[in-house]
Amino acid sequence: MMQPTHGGNVYKVAQKQRIPVERITDFSASINPLGPPAAVLRAIRSALKQIVHYPDPDCWQLRQELARQCGVDPDMILVGNGSTELIHLLPRALAIKAALIIGPTFEEYARALMDAESSVQYVHARRAERFHPPLNDVLRQFSAKQSKFDAVFLCNPNNPTGQVMNRLAMRELAEVVDRRQGWLIVDEAFIDYCQEQSVVSMLSEHPRMMVLRSLTKFYAMPGLRIGYLVGASKVVDQLKDRQPPWSVNSLAQEVSRAVLHDHAFATQSRIFMKKERSRFVRGLRSLSGLRVYSSAANFVLIELPASICAGEVTDRLASERLLVRDCSTLPGLTAQMIRVAIRTANENRQLLAALGACLSKRQS
């Protein structure tokens, strides 16, 4: 199966341009620019002595902490080598045969499903509705008489549209999926920026709902690989049976425990993001010809003028060592779509200037 193109491949650009990775500013992966918190380095130093042992295969201590934060039993938590590992465990472990994906969205769900020989169908949010989650379309398709769907996948807030399905709509969706004994997989990789929308508290009423979380983005440590899933303990056991042993290394486990206690970092990051996102979006909207979609997360989806392709802008910006995500090949989007992460004020100013120059050159 073909590898999808994800954001964040700084290595490829560095190799091509023969420059060190550090000279690239990466707007293509949506990583918290304030991180990683200082606790990360401290935890790595103190955990180094543990590398002579295999990591705890049950992530016991980390699961206690995650369970406390989520208000669930530790048996309802499975930790993975990034949430990507868990996305890939789900289709086979749950024996999903026909899945409905709410798009346009993260490509890895489709990849994992197809890898497990499940059929995949999308219900796309519409550009004309500013990519508002298409709840009614999903309900209609899922509950149609001839429907064979046994799972719905959605990302909330959604990557790359930045849109949120609110809790009322989520409850409605969960009820319909329950009624047909389907699985509802909710990826909350970016929920830290709108925590009040999380559906973890609904899990007790919906045992066929699984929530995925990532620690790599908010705590800026994608290189360490760590994520987790919250769901019914019986299902968690089923998934665990299929997980390779020791897939979560000891440094990642220790660091995660440390960052989960850093409430000051979390609060500061949320305050920063809210303020910087609105400043950055204002700046982007002032550039001629761009359509900038609102976002509840730490990235924004941008539609370029019809005369310019995403690939062209992405290449030009890359030549200035600014990486943005070309979204033109994502099912449900057009050739003009790019996604940019919200970074520090200085870095954002740099991107605004480069993007502005690129647009005016192209339009003159």
Ligand X SMILES: Cc1ncc(COP(=O)(O)O)c(C=O)c1O
Instruction: Give contact residues for ligand X (rule: CB under 6 A).
Output: 6, 82-84, 106, 155, 159, 187, 189, 214, 216, 222, 227
Integer Cα distance of 61 and 356 in angstroms: 49
Cβ closest to ligand X, residue 190 vs residue 265? 190
Cβ closest to ligand X, residue 6 vs residue 275? 6
Q: C-beta of 347: minimal distance to ligand X in Å?
A: 19
Integer Cα distance of 222 and 10 in angstroms: 13
Cβ closest to ligand X, residue 159 vs residue 250? 159
Integer Cα distance of 106 and 110 in angstroms: 8
Q: C-beta of 151: minimal distance to ligand X in Å?
A: 16
Q: 336-361 burial by CB neighbour count: b if 16+ within 10 A, else e?
A: bbbbbbbbeeebbebbbebbbebbee
Integer Cα distance of 283 and 84 in angstroms: 33
Provide the token pair at 351. 């991107």
Q: C-beta of 85: minimal distance to ligand X in Å?
A: 7
Cβ closest to ligand X, residue 248 vs residue 354? 248
Cβ closest to ligand X, residue 85 vs residue 359? 85
Q: C-beta of 89: minimal distance to ligand X in Å?
A: 12
Q: C-beta of 230: minimal distance to ligand X in Å?
A: 14
Q: C-beta of 162: minimal distance to ligand X in Å?
A: 11
Cβ closest to ligand X, residue 187 vs residue 192? 187
Residue nearest to ligand X (CB): 82
User: Is the sign of the CA dihedral 331, 174, 194, 278 positive or negative?
Assistant: positive
Q: What is the 3-state secondary structure (H, E, C) of 103-163?
A: ECCCCHHHHHHHHCCCEEEEEECCHHHCCCCCHHHHHHHHHCCCCCCCEEEEECCCCCCCC
